[in-house]
């Protein structure tokens, strides 16, 4: 642990050092009000900015200079401004200082390459005086080290005017365009001999290619005296490829991609300079029209959206809100910050805080645990280990194959070994870090491929088979095989896991305030660990700040430990995980690996499919078997395949247990299906939309698990989506665009989805409700579902309002709790509105029947009159409701029965544009047609469609979890893990809810909406693949190719084979230890 003093100009970096590196800074100096460090002056050579000037202020001054100065003087300023456009967010730029950016010496800094390439000068000062140093290749002396002496202070930076004949450009490539750190950043400055195109001076500066911001001096020197043309370009690229190398094991990975980016950036710079030279009348090569887009600077369009839904019928009463776009009942409270979440519950007088002690090894025996250092820390109260669990230490949502606290061995990094309880969060977390654990390391299994090699699987495996596979392949005109890997996904709910456990002082009673989707499972597992009956445990859920499946089962690993601590100490105990802890401990969406063999006719008709799925389950089964089963149920997506076999294996690995996530295995199964149908189209040279349409299910078809399709609306969704998107017109325009542009390509794809609605575990398809009517006419409604922002409570109020015939304003839902509605199913599987809505309807109908005699006696009376009449007549104004989904009874052994109540259908069409040189892509347009039956609430349903779609965009194009070969999660926060930003929303987004499509299988003819739309983001993935195909065609490559998910910028760029990628071949697998592995 180190101690130091620090100026706070690099405050963001300092906070990371304090949190993750245990650094201590007893003295923090703020330069914000030191005049000399905030002064901006114009000098003879440029503009001098005080080191404490904020980036926003610097940007404003430079913009003004660009407006007023001659263009030849502002090249450097424009390069700085281009980098500032994508530098963090506005809130950060408003407080971040330019000096802090320089002095943190980040090797992936956006601005330092510009400062180095343009000879910026720094004024340094200490008590003995000042000196001026130039930011050149000697300024950074090592990783996060500079020539600045220990007691020197950076006072100012002078950004120079550019000169006549000087051209400057800056580039940045990051996983996400907005508010993201760089993968590679660059700045390039060339100065020509007066009146010529001969290079007089050249500076090429790169971030992300070494431990420091690096200059490509060899390349630059070799190009001096050369004319700016094709020969120079070829020489530059071949020399850069040799000079800007990276160790294959370099931190950050993406080595081939990063090397290729150095060439791509130079090529873009080359084109930009050629254009500027021609504008000045120089006799240089003309940039071909097909290459112009490569030199364009990205300027985002103003986005637009259209939402289309069917309005409520005219005959419907004004107080009947079902089918109307009613606002979420908590929307205003959430927007103003008044909504109460778990951590908003006020502190109890004697409350304590808990911090977890977790494993740093993926697989190891625990040799010893030393808590002595922690016990001596300020505020320490106690340390909990496995022996402190009074009941059963075994836990798990289905099988008890996990531990509350590790005993004897750990099986993943993040395995909970113990907990430290202290008086404050800071003291608890500090003491937890002081617990010393000695391990004997064992060989971990981390990836799916390692699990296959080691035959490390959970049992059972699953098979679904139909038809005669052998005969099907014999019938086929063509057979092709393929494979793909689908990466996992972090839930990234806004509110991390939290529990507040409050012992009630007698009979072992305890109350748990938990952010969970599964109140009853939380109750049962806490009772099991405490060794008490479940009737002593009350779990209360007001609302969650997001769940997405991540709080269906994994929330219990925290709530159970908190309950044990509160029970032991007889005091309230609170714990809310920090983001890095939550990401490390709680698991996410299952990574999948799929292998397939598909047989098809010359027409494109699929006649046989043999597919095998491997899911990375992690270190316990959790809900993985159900996830795998749903994957197999959806392995054909929306396509009829007469002869089919699907096999599924659960890989047992030493990663934190993966769990439920919106779609629950369905998206992984369906993406593999869309992959093989795309392969079929590409191999035949047929339009992908025709092959998809040819194979779509029809009314009355049997699925591969022998369920007859009724009320099928796939064809309606397909036709409407084709029409609304203008698919064929867009396709023609894209073909023209791609013929006219070499380095940017566009692609389009239309994909269907068919999602089965019900829990695949039959017993979970039940729900309860409790309704109280008070004598003032107000109604308190409780049901078994939990609110996580999806609008479930709003819809339940609408249902109750319709049945009771009263305004929604008369009805209130306070919370979900185990002492009002027992034995609840998790709020999951998209079925919560169906089941809880039916239970609410049942309870309300009971009450309406009880009130009927009083309405008949007083037909002109009002609601409150009838309620009071019933009360004075001693009639109960409280009722329980219950519902179970009928006719669900699928058996995996006999392959008989119905696994689903019905299906939700949808079709999405997306158009994208990719930059073939960098792998960046733009989502240009998306049209979605979704069958939600008769929508209970179009506003909420469209919000669910849009939200699910964007979460799918993250899954399929952006979000990547990186693990080290030893099973350590490397992406533990928003700095390294990127969810979609505003700029990732399609520029034109249309969502249409299918008209006149009632569903007789659910409440008021509605349909589930939570999970089904997510997969429609596969249209973006396959539009990207379509664009990549156009790029590969330029290099003479055609036919199917492998593109794993997510289609990140790295994968897009590497798939666009061209002369630049050939100069940067990847290292031979097995010849190095990679920074991260594909799990």
Catalytic residues: 1011
Give the residue among 932, 946, 777, 926 at the shortest CA–CA distance from 847: 777
Helix, coil or strand: residue 987: coil
Which residue, 1021, 949, 985, 853, is CA-closest to 300? 985
- Render 836-889 in DSSP notation, one character per residue: HHHHHHHHHHHHHHHHHHHHHH-TT--HHHHHHHHHHTT---EEEEEEE-SS--
* Distances in whole angstroms, Cα of residue 769 to Cα of each of 194, 230, 328, 830: 83, 74, 20, 18
What distance in Å separates the CA atoms of residue 887 and residue 1005, rounded to the nearest whole number? 18
Residue 594 CA to residue 613 CA, distance in Å, equals 5
> From start to end of 292-379, where are the E strands?
304-308, 352-358, 364-370
**Cα dist. 734→291, 296, 747, 778, 928 in Å?**
16, 19, 7, 58, 20
What are the CA-CA distances from residue 768 to residues 360, 797, 882, 884 (Å)?
43, 15, 4, 9
- Which element (helix H / strand E) includes 911? strand 902-915
- Tell me whether strands 811-812 and 779-783 are parallel, antiparallel or unpaired: parallel
- The helix/strand/coil state of 716 is helix
- CA atoms of 569 and 352, how far apart (whole Å): 9
42: enclosing H helix or E strand: strand 40-42
Is the N-terminal amide bond of 819 cis, ω within 30° of 0?
Answer: no
Longest dimension (CA), the chain: 103
| CB-CB neighbours of 1034 under 10 Å | 17
Q: String of b and e for 812-838 (b: at least 16 CB within 10 Å)? A: ebebbbbebbeebbbbbbbbbbbbbbb
Give CA separation, 95 vs 12, 54, 56, in Å.
Answer: 10, 6, 8
Alpha carbon distance 866, 868 (integer Å): 6
Helix ranges (DSSP H) in 154-229: 217-223
Among residues 524, 255, 579, the alpha carbon closest in space to that of 391 is found at 524
Task: Identify the DSSP state of 968.
Answer: -
Select from 411, 405, 402 the least CA-distant residue to 445.
Answer: 411
CA 417, CA 409: separation in Å to the nearest integer? 9
The DSSP output letter for 1017 is: G
Q: Which residue has the tokens 């106690």?
A: 382
The token pair at 895 is 């392959």
Burial class (CB in 10 A: 0-12, 13-18, 19+), 145: exposed
Radius of gyration for the chain, computed over Cα atoms and rounded to the nearest angstrom: 31
Q: How many angstroms from the chain centroid is the CA of residue 578?
A: 17
In which residue are the tokens 């659910």 written?
A: 1002
* 234 phi/psi in degrees, rounded to 5: -65, -40
Contact of 1030 with 688, CB cutoff 8 Å: no
β-pair partners for 418: 357
Burial class (CB in 10 A: 0-12, 13-18, 19+), 708: exposed
């Amino acid at each position: 642990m180190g101690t130091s003093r620090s100026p706070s100009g690099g405050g963001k970096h300092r906070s990371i050092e304090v949190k993750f590196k245990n650094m201590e800074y007893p003295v923090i100096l703020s330069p914000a009000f030191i005049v000399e460090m905030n002064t901006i002056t114009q000098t003879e050579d440029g503009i001098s900015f005080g080191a404490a000037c904020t980036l926003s202020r610097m940007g404003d001054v430079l913009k003004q200079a660009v407006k007023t100065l001659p263009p030849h003087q502002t090249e450097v300023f424009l390069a700085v401004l281009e980098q500032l456009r994508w530098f963090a967010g506005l809130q950060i730029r408003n407080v971040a200082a330019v000096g802090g950016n320089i002095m943190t010496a980040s090797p992936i800094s956006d601005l330092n390459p510009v400062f180095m390439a343009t000879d910026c000068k720094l004024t340094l000062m200490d008590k003995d005086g000042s000196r001026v140093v130039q930011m050149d290749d000697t300024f950074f002396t090592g990783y996060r080290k500079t020539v600045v002496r220990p007691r020197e202070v950076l006072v100012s930076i002078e950004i120079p005017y550019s000169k006549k004949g000087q051209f400057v450009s800056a580039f940045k490539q990051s996983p996400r365009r907005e508010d993201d750190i760089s993968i590679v950043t660059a700045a390039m400055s060339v100065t020509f001999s007066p009146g010529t195109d001969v290079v007089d001076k050249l500076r090429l500066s790169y971030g992300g290619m070494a431990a420091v911001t690096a200059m490509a001096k060899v390349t630059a020197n070799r190009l001096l005296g050369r004319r700016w043309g094709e020969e120079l370009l070829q020489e530059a690229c071949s020399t850069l490829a040799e000079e800007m190398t990276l160790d294959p094991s370099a931190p950050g990975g993406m080595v081939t991609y990063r090397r290729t980016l150095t060439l791509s950036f130079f090529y873009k710079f080359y084109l930009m300079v050629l254009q500027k030279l021609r504008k000045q009348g120089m006799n240089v090569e003309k940039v071909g029209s097909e290459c112009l887009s490569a030199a364009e600077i990205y300027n985002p369009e103003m986005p637009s959206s259209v939402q289309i839904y069917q309005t409520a019928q005219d005959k419907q009463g004004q107080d009947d809100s079902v089918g109307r776009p009613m606002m979420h009942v908590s929307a205003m409270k959430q927007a103003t910050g008044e909504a109460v979440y778990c951590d908003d519950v006020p502190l109890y007088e004697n409350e304590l805080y808990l911090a977890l002690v977790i494993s740093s090894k993926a697989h190891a025996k625990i040799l010893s645990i030393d808590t002595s250092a922690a016990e001596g820390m300020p505020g320490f109260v106690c340390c909990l280990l496995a022996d402190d669990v009074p009941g059963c230490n075994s836990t798990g949502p289905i099988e008890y194959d996990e531990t509350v606290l590790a005993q004897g061995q750990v099986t993943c990094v993040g395995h909970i070994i113990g907990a430290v309880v202290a008086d404050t969060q800071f003291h608890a977390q500090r003491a937890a870090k002081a617990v010393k654990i000695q391990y004997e390391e064992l060989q971990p299994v981390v990836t799916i491929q390692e699990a296959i090699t080691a035959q490390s699987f959970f049992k059972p495996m699953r098979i679904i088979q139909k038809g005669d596979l052998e005969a099907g392949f014999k019938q086929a005109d063509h057979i092709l095989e393929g494979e793909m890997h689908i990466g996992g996904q972090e839930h990234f709910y806004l509110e991390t896991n939290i529990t507040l456990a409050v012992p009630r002082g007698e009979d072992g009673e305890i109350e748990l305030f938990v952010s969970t989707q599964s109140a009853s499972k939380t109750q049962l597992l806490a009772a099991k660990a405490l060794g008490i009956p479940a009737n002593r445990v009350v779990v209360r859920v007001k609302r969650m700040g997001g769940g997405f499946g991540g709080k269906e089962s994994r929330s219990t690993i925290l709530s159970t430990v908190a309950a044990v601590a509160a029970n032991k100490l007889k005091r309230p105990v609170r714990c809310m995980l920090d983001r890095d802890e939550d990401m490390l401990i709680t698991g996410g969406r299952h990574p999948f690996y799929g292998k397939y063999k598909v047989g098809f006719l010359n027409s494109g008709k699929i006649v046989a499919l043999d597919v095998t799925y491997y899911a990375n389950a992690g270190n316990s089964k959790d809900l993985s078997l159900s996830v795998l089963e749903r994957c197999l149920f959806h392995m054909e997506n929306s396509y009829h395949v007469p002869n089919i076999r699907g096999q599924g294996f659960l890989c047992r690995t030493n990663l934190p247990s993966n769990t439920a996530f919106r779609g629950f295995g369905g998206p992984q199964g369906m993406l593999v299906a869309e992959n093989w149908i795309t392969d079929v189209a590409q191999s035949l040279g047929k339009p992908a939309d025709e092959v998809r349409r040819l194979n779509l299910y029809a009314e009355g078809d049997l699925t591969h698990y022998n369920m007859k399709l009724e009320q099928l609306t796939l064809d309606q969704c397909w036709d409407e989506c084709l029409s609304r998107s203008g698919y064929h017109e867009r396709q023609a325009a894209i073909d023209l665009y791609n013929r006219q542009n070499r380095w940017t390509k566009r692609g389009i794809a239309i994909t269907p989805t068919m999602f089965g609605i019900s829990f695949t575990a039959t017993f979970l398809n039940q729900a309860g409700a409790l309704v109280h009517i008070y004598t003032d006419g107000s109604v308190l409604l409780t049901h078994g579902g939990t609110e996580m922002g999806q609008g479930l409570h709003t819809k339940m109020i609408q249902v109750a309002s319709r049945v009771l015939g009263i305004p929604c304003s008369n009805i209130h839902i306070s919370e979900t709790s185990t002492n009002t509605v027992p034995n609840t199913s998790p709020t999951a599987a998209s079925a919560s509105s169906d089941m809880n809505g039916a239970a609410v309807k049942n309870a309300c109908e009971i009450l309406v029947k009880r009130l009927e005699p009083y309405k008949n006696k007083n037909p002109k009376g009002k609601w409150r009159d009838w309620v009071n009449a019933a009360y004075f007549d001693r009639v109960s104004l409280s009722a329980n409701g219950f519902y179970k989904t009928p006719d669900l009874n699928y058996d995996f052994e006999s392959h008989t029965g119905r696994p689903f109540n019905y299906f939700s259908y949808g079709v999405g069409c997306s158009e994208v544009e990719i930059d073939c040189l960098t792998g960046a892509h733009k989502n240009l347009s998306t049209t979605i047609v979704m069958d939600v039956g008769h929508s209970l609430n179009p506003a909420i349903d469209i919000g669910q469609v849009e939200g699910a779609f964007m979460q799918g965009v993250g899954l399929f194009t952006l979000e990547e979890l990186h693990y080290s070969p030893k099973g350590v999660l490397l992406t533990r926060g928003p700095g390294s893990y990127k969810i979609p930003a505003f700029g990732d929303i399609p520029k034109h987004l249309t969502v249409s809810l299918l008209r006149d499509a009632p569903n007789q299988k659910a409440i008021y003819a509605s349909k589930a909406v939570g999970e089904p739309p997510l997969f429609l983001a596969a249209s973006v993935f396959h539009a990207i693949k379509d664009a990549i195909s156009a790029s590969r065609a330029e290099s003479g490559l055609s036919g199917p190719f492998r593109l794993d998910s997510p289609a990140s910028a790295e994968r897009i760029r590497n798939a666009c084979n061209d002369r630049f990628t050939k100069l940067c071949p990847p290292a031979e697998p097995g010849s190095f230890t990679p920074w991260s592995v594909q799990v």
